Structure 1
Amino acid sequence: MNTRRSIRNTRLWLTPLAAAVTLSFAGCVNYAGIKSDHQLDAPTTLQTQESLPAEGGKWPSLDWSQQFGDPQLPKLIDEALNGNPTIDEARARIAKATAYAGSAKSSLYPNVSGSYSWSRNLYSENTVFPSPIGGSWNSENTVLTGASWDLDLWGKNHERLRQATSDQKVAEADMEEVRVTLATSVASTYNQLARLYELRDIAANELKDREDIEHITNGRVSAGLDTNVERQTANGDTATIRSSVTSLDGQITTVRYQLGALLGAGPDRGLAIAAPALGTGAPVTLPDNLPADLISRRPDLVAAYWQVDSTTHGIKEAKAEFFPDINLSASLGLDAFGWGRFLTSSSRQIQAGPAIHLPIFDAGALRSQLKGRYADFDYYVANYNKTLIDALSEVATQVTLIRSTDKQLVDAQAALDAQTKAYQLAAVRYKAGLTQQLQVLNADDNRLAAEQSVANLQMDRRNMQIALVKALGGGFDASNTELATKAGTPDTALKILHSAD
C-alpha cells in the first residue's frame, strides 16, 4: 500500500514537471495545423426511401438456408464452416490480433526482470584493479533485479492498447464476413448444381422427343413421304442433344468438385452429394429501418467502422509522441569477486531514478508520422463510406432483380405453355403427314428454348435470394456481440471525437 502511494505521489510531482518542460520546448516540435475534416456518412443522409421502402420484413437469421426446403443444404453449410481452411485463416488472424492486444496491455504495467551471471576473468596488473586482483584469476558473481515503468502521462500506451483492441474487433468482424461469404458461396454453388440437374433433365426429355421425331421420320422415309435429307437432319439433331446431355454431365461433376473444395474436403466428397431438391424460398420483403440497422448487420461495415476507430487511437498515440516520456527505473542486486563476500551487505548495488525523453528537433519525423496516421484515417473513412453506399446499392439491386424476375417468370411460363402446345400439335400433324419436318423441328426448338428459359429464371431468382441474404448480412447482428459500440451501432459522430482531442 505504501509503495502504491509512493508511486502515485511520484506521478503527481512528475506530471507538472513534464508539463513545464513541454511548454518550454513548445516551439520546437508540435503538430499544429495537422488535422482532418473527413467523417463517416450517417445512413440517414443517403436517400433510400424509394428504393428500400419499409415492408415489415425480417432480417435473415443464421438458419436462412432452411427456407429452401432442402435439408441437405444447411448440413453442407455447417460442414463448410467447420472444415474450410479460410475459417482457420480467419481464426489465426484473430489470435494474432489478440496476442498483439495482450502485448500492448503489458506496457501499462511495471516491468520487472532478474538476472544472474558468473564469469571467470584474468585481470591486468596495469589497469584499475590493484593486486591481488590484478594479475590473477578471479570469479565474479552478479545477481540483479530491475524494474521499470513508463508513467504514460499522455496516454500513449493506453491509446496503443485501444488501437490494438479495435484491430482485434476488425479481425473478428472479418471472420464473420468470411463465414457469411462462405455460407452463401456454398448455397449459390449448390444452386448451380441444381440448375445443371434441371437443364440435364430438360435435355434428357428433349432427347426422347428428338428420338420420337427420328422414329417418325424413318417411317415417313419408308413410306416415301420424306427423303434421306430429313432422315439425316433428324439423326443429326438427336446426336446434338445427346452431346448436350454428356456436356451437362461433365459440368455437374465439375460443380461437385467445387462443392467438395468449399466443404474443405477432397473432390470425392463432392461426388457423394445427393442431387439438390431446392424449393422457391420465403417471400422477399424488406425489413423496416433498413439503412440505419444495416450498419450493424453487415460484417464488412462493422469491420470498416472498427478500422476507422483503430486509426483514431493511432492518431492520439502519434500525438502523444510529441510530449516527454518519463520512465521510472530501479535496480537492486549483489556483485562480488568470489563467493566469500557475495551474500554480504557490502556487495549490494542499488540504482534508481527517472528518465525523461523530450523530442526537441527531429527534422519533421514526428509530424510526418502524424500526417501518415491522418492519411490512414481519411482512407478508412472513405472505405467505410464506400462500403455503406455499396451495401445499400447491393440490397436495392437484388430486390429489384428478384421482382423483375418474378414478372419475367409469368411471361416465360405463358410462353412455355404456348410453345409446348404448338410443338404437340406440330408433332401430331407431322406424324399424320400434314406438315413438313422443318415445322415440327422449329416448334420443338422453340419449346426447348422456352423450357430452358423458365428453368434458368427460376435458378437465377434463387441466386438473387441468396445474394440478398448476403447483402442483408447473412444473419449476423453486431448489436448482440462485443463488436457493437456502446450505442449498439457504429458511431457516425466519430469525427467530432477525433478532431477535438
Structure 2
Amino acid sequence: MALGVVLAGGCTVKDSAAPPSRVVLPARFAEAPVTDGMHADLGRWWTQWHDPVLDRLVDDALAANPDLAVARDHVRQARGYVAVARSTLYPTVGATGDIAGGGLGWSNPAVPAALAPNLGDPATDGHLAGLAAAWEPDIFGGRAADLRAARAVAQSVEEQLRGTRMLVAADMVENYVASVDDLRRVALIDRAAAVLDRMEAYAGARMAAGQATRADIDAIRARRRTVLAARPLLVADVDTRRRRMAVLSGRLPEQAPAIPQPALFVIPPVPVGIVPVGVMDRRPDIRARRDLVQAALERLRSARTDLLPRFGLEFFGGNGRLRFDGLPGLSGSGGLMALTTYLPIFTAGRIHARIDVADARLDEAVTLYDQALLTALSEVESAYESRAALDVQGQGLSAALAVARRAAEDRLGLFDGGRSTLLDALQARLDAVAIEDAGVRSEDGRAMATIRLAVALGGGTL
C-alpha cells in the first residue's frame, strides 16, 4: 500500500493532455467576397427568401420531424448516463431483510422415547434486518474523470441535435425551392409548346399555299414532342419533393403540402463578414468533435488511475433473532465497519492495454477533429466559389435574355411590317424561352449553392 501511495504522488489524472490540433485556421476564407457589407444573421437564414409558405414549412418540420425527435431522445439518454456517472462519487446505501421459518425433528438415542421431554411443536423461525452502506472515495480522480467524460459526450449529443435541426431545415428549403423551380420550368415548357403549336399551324397554312413542305411540319412536331418530353419528369420530381416535405414534417406522403404558383423570388445575398474561427465555433459537427476529444482525454485519465490503489469503506448494522421452539431464543443488534484496499500487482498487462486503447482513441478523436475542420473549410470555400460562379452565369443569362426578348420584339415588328415571316418571329420567341429556361436552371443552382453555403457556415442551429 505504501508503494501505491508513493506512485500516486507522482501520477495524477491531470498529467494527461490531448495532442494539439495540426490544423491552423486561416484568417479569412479565400473565396469569400471582399466587402464591408452587413454581417449575416444565420440563425434563421431561410427567412431571407421572404416566402411565408417556406417559413411555415420549415417551422412545421422543426416542430414534428422524426429525426429531431430521435435526436432529442438521444440527448435524454446521454443526460441519464451523466447521472449514472455522477452517482459513483457517492456512497451506496441499502436495506436488507430476511425472515425464515421451518421445523426440526428432535431425537436422542440415549433417552428412551417415553422419557423424552415434550417440546411441543418442534418449529424454528428467525429474522434479520439491517442497513448496509459502501463507498469508494475518489481519491485519485478516476470517477470524476468518468463524470467529465460523460458530460462531454452529452454535450456532443446535444450538438448532434443542433446539427440535425440544421440539416432538417436545409432539407426542407432545398426541396421547396427545387419544387418551385421545377414548376417554373413546367410553365416555360407549356409556353414553348404553345409557340410550336402556332408554328405548326402557320407551316400548315404555308404548305397549303405551296410555300412549305410536309418535312417542315414534321420537324416542328418533332421539336414539340422533344420539348414536352421533359414535362413528366419535372412533374414527377415536384411530387417526389412534396412527399419528402411531408415526411420531414412527420406527415404521411399522401398529405404532401401544396406548392404555390411559381413566382420569381429574390435569392438571398451571399453572407459576408464571417471568419473561419467563427464558423468552427458555430458548426455543431465541429463542436461535437471537440467534445469527443475532451471525452476521450477524460477516459484516458480514468484508465490511468486503474494503476493506483483503491480504497473503500463498508458498513453494516442490523438486528436479528433466531428461535428454536422449546429453547431460549437468540437475538441481538450491532454493526460492523471495514476499510478495504486494493492495489493491482499482476493483471497480465490488462490495465496497460486498456490505457493504450484509451490513448489510441484519444489520438483518433483528435485526428477526426482535424478532419472535420479540413472538411468544413473545404465546404465553405467550395460553396462560396460555386455561388460566385453561378452569380456570374446568372448575370450573363439575364443579359442574354434581355437581348433575346428584344430580338423577338424586333422580329415581330418586321413581320407586322411585311419584312419577315411569322415563322422567324416565333422562332425568336422560342429562343427567348430557351434562354429563360437556362436562367431558371441557373437560379436553381444559385439557390442550392446558397443553401449549401448556409449549412457550411453553420446556419440554422438555434
TM-score, scaled relative to structure 2: 0.86
Q: How does 1:222-371 map to 2 (within 5 A)?
A: 222-275=208-261, 277=263, 279-288=265-274, 290-338=275-323, 346-371=331-356
Query: 1:300 Cα shift?
Result: 0.8
Distance change >3 Å, CA 442–CA 366, structure 1 → 2: farther
Structure-2 change in CA distance of 1:54 and 1:165 (3 Å): farther
Contact 2:179 2:242 in 1 (8 A): yes
SS at match of 1:452: helix
* 2:429 aligned with 1:468: no
Matched, 1:22 2:8: no
The match for 1:377 is 362
AA in 2 matched with 1:270? A
Who is 1:178 aligned against? 164
Which residue type is aligned with residue 198 of structure 1? Answer: R
Change in 2 beyond 3 A, CA 1:55/1:117: farther
- 8 Å contact from structure 2 (residues 186, 235) kept in 1: yes
For 1:130-189, what per-residue CA distance to the aligned partner results, in whole angstroms no more than 9, with x for missing partners? x999x9542221112100111111111111111111111011010000000110111111
Cα distance in 1 for partners of 2:174, 2:186 equals 18
The structure-2 alpha-carbon separation of the partners of 1:40 and 1:59, relative to structure 1 and needing over 3 Å to count, comes to farther
Counterpart residue type for residue 191 of structure 1: V
**What is the distance in 2 between the residues matched to 1:54 and 1:117?**
80
Deviation at 1:106, TM superposition (A): 0.8
Which stretch of the first structure deviates more once superposed, 220-229 or 156-165? Answer: 220-229
**99-108 or 461-470, which moves further after superposition?**
461-470
Pair 251,433 (structure 1): closer, same or farther in 2 beyond 3 Å? farther
Selected match of 2:84 from 80, 103, 113: 103
Q: 1:442 Cα shift? A: 7.0
SS in 2 for 1:326: strand
Following superposition of structure 1 onto structure 2, how do residues 84-233 of structure 1 map, counting pairs within 5 Å? 84-122=65-103, 136-233=122-219
Q: Which amino acid aligns with 1:334?
A: N
Q: Distance in 2 between matches of 1:297 and 1:180?
A: 11
**Aligned residue runs from structure 1 range 28-39, under 5 A:** 38-39=19-20
Report the RMSD for the aligned CA atoms in angstroms: 3.3
Report percent identity of matched pairs.
Answer: 23
Answer whether contact 1:60 1:475 (CA < 8 A) is retained: no
Secondary structure at the aligned position of 1:120 is classed as: strand
Quick check: 2:397–2:438 contact (8 Å CA) kept in 1?
Answer: yes
**Distance change in 2, residues 1:360/1:278 (3 Å):** farther
Cα displacement (A) at 1:49: 5.8
Contact 2:140 2:305 in 1 (8 A): yes
Shift of 1:202: 0.9
CA distance in structure 1 between the partners assigned to 2:242 and 2:129 by the alignment:
67
How do 1:449-460 and structure 2 match up within 5 A? 449-460=434-445
The equivalent position to 2:389 in structure 1, one of 404, 410, 427, is 404
Query: How many Å apart are 1:355 and its aligned residue?
Result: 1.2
How much does 1:205 deviate?
0.9
Q: 1:386 to 1:48 in 2, by over 3 A?
A: farther
Q: Name the aligned partner's letter for residue 169 of structure 2.
A: A
Which residue identity lines up with residue 95 of structure 1 in the other structure? R
Q: 1:271: Cα distance to partner?
A: 4.0
Largest Rg, 1 or 2? 2
Residue 345 of structure 1: how far off its partner (Å)? 9.8
Task: Please point out which of 54, 62, 85 is paired with 2:43.
Answer: 62
Give the residue type in structure 1 aligned to 2:396.
D
Say if 2:42 and 2:454, in contact at 8 Å, map to a contact too: no
Cα distance change, pair 250–24 in 1 and its aligned pair in 2 (3 A): closer
Post-superposition offset of 1:396: 1.6
SS in 1 for 2:230: helix
Question: Per the alignment, do residues 296 and 339 of structure 1 end up closer, same or farther by CA in structure 2, a change over 3 Å counting?
Answer: farther
Give the partner amino acid of 1:383.
L
Alpha-carbon separation, structure 2, partners of 1:419 and 1:144: 95
Distance, in Å, in 1 between the alignment partners of 2:344 and 2:230 is: 76
Residue 419 of structure 1 deviates from its aligned partner by 3.8
Change (3 A) 1:312 1:55: farther
State the secondary structure of the residue aligned to 1:118: strand
Shift of 1:240: 3.4
8 Å Cα contact 1:173/1:300 also seen in 2: yes
Query: Aligned residue for 1:10?
Result: none
Counterpart of 1:488 in structure 2 is: none
In structure 1, the residue corresponding to 2:318 is in which secondary structure? Answer: strand
Unaligned runs of 5+ in 1: 1-17, 478-501
Residues 191-242 of structure 1: CA distance to partner in whole angstroms, max 9, x if unpaired? 1111101111111111111111111111111111112222222233333333
Summarize the Cα distance change of 1:460–1:329 in structure 2 as closer, same or farther, 3 Å threshold.
same
Query: 1:233-275 CA distances to partner (integer Å, 9 max, x unpaired)?
Result: 2233333333433332222222211111111111233243434
Name the residue aligned to 1:40. Answer: 21
For structure 2, the 5+ residue unaligned runs are 108-116
CA distance in 1, matches of 2:239, 2:217: 34
Aligned partner of 1:82 among 58, 63, 66: 63
- When structure 1 is superposed on structure 2, of 389-398 and 179-188 the one drifting more is 389-398
The Cα of 1:92 is off from its aligned counterpart by: 0.8
Distance, in Å, in 2 between the alignment partners of 1:426 and 1:97 is 70
| Amino acid in structure 1 at the alignment position of 2:197 | E
Q: Distance in 2 between matches of 1:132 and 1:180?
A: 86
Residue deviations 1:431-452 (CA, integer Å, cap 9, x gap): 9796797x78876664443222
